[in-house]
Amino acid sequence: MGLYNVTEALVKEAFHAAYEEPGRLQCACARCTEDILALALNHLRPHYVSTEAGFAYVKAQYFNPQLQSDILRELAVAVQIVEAHPRHPAVGE
Ligand SMILES: [Zn+2]
C-alpha cells in the first residue's frame, strides 16, 4: 500500500529521458535537479492513487501526447529558471 502521485513519476521519467545526457544541463547536481522537478510539478496537476494497481492503470492512461508535451514544456521552463538563478554559486566560481 502507498500513496502515489502519478504526475510526479511521469515528470521524473520525462526529466531523465530528456536531460540525463551529459551537457544538456548547465548543472546536474541534486539541488538543481530537485529545484527543476519542484518548479515543474507546481505547475502540473497532481494525480494521486492509493494502490500500485491504480498507479499502473492511471500511468498508462496518462501516456498521451498532450500530457507529455505539457510535462516537457513545464520542464523546459523550470530548467531555464533554475539555470538563470541557481541556488548555489555558479559552476567554476
Ligand atoms: Zn546545481
pLDDT digit string, tens, across residues 25-37: 999 999 999 999 9
Question: 40, 11 in Cβ contact below 8 A?
Answer: yes
- Domains of the chain by residue range: 4-84
Phi-psi domain of 12 (left: phi exceeds 0; alpha: psi -120 through 50; beta: other): alpha
Whole-model pTM? 0.87
pLDDT at residue number 37: 98
As given in the structure block, the three cell numbers for residue 62 are: 496518462
CA 80 to chain CA mean position, Å = 13
> Which amino acid, 48?
Y
Q: How far is the CA of 9 from the centre of ligand 1 (A)?
A: 22
Q: How far is the CA of 12 from the centre of ligand 1 (A)?
A: 17
